[in-house]
Amino acid sequence: MFNLKPIIMSQFRFMNLEIWKDSIALNDKFFDLAEEIGNARSYRFAEQLRAASLSISNNIAEGSGSFSDKDFANFLNIARRSVFETANLAFVAKQRKHIDDDCLNKMLNELDILSRKISCFRKRILETMNNKR
C-alpha cells in the first residue's frame, strides 16, 4: 500500500480512501510504461496514457472535497470512466507492441479490480445519501 504519513503532515479526506491509494499505485505503473514508450513517434500516446491514468486519482481526490455526496458520486463516475480509458490505452500499447500479453493481462486485472472498488464505493455513497432522505 501507499504510505504518506512520513512525508505529508496535513490530511485530506482522499488520503484515507483505499481506491485513491490503489489508483496512485497503479498510476506509477502507467507512468513507468509511458516513460518507456515516450519516444518522438509515440510521444502523444505516452502523454494520453499519463493523463488518463492520472485522471483516476485526480477525480477521486477532487470529488472527496465535494460538499455533497451526489457531487462526490459524480466524480467517482468520472474516475471509473478514466479506468476504462486507461484500459483502452493498455490495449493500444499491446497492439503497438509496447507491452506483451502478460503485461496487458496484469494491467487489465488491476484496472478491473479498481473499477469494481470504485463502483462499490460509489454505490455505498449513493445508498447512504438515499437513506438520509
Best CA proximity match to 79, nearest among 63, 93, 90, 103:
63
- Of residues 39, 35, 40, 34, the one with CA closest to residue 92: 34
Q: Cα–Cα distances in Å, from 124 out to 20, 63, 109, 133?
A: 16, 15, 23, 15
In a domain, 7, yes or no: no
**Contact (Cβ atoms closer than 8 angstroms) between residue 114 and residue 17:** no
Return the amino acid letter for 20.
W
What does the pLDDT read at residue 8?
59
- The pLDDT value given to residue 9: 58
Domain contains 77: yes
d(CA 76, CA 64): 9
Identify the CA nearest to 75 among candidates 133, 32, 13: 13
Inside any domain, residue 4:
no
Q: How many domains does the chain have?
A: 1
Q: How many Å apart are CA 32 and CA 14, to the nearest integer? A: 23
- Residue 8 inside a domain? The answer is no
Q: In the prediction, which pLDDT does 39 show? A: 74
Which structural domain range is residue 50 located in?
A: 14-131
pLDDT computed for residue 38 by the predictor: 79
Q: According to the model, what pLDDT value does residue 114 have? A: 98
Assess if residue 5 is contained within a domain.
no
Q: Per residue of the chain (133 residues), what is the pLDDT tens digit?
A: 556 555 555 689 999 999 999 999 999 999 999 998 877 678 899 999 999 999 999 999 999 999 999 999 999 999 999 999 999 999 999 999 999 999 999 999 999 999 999 999 999 999 998 888 6
Q: Is residue 64 part of a domain?
A: yes
CATH number at 111 reads 1.20.1440.60
- 72/124 Cα distance (integer angstroms): 12
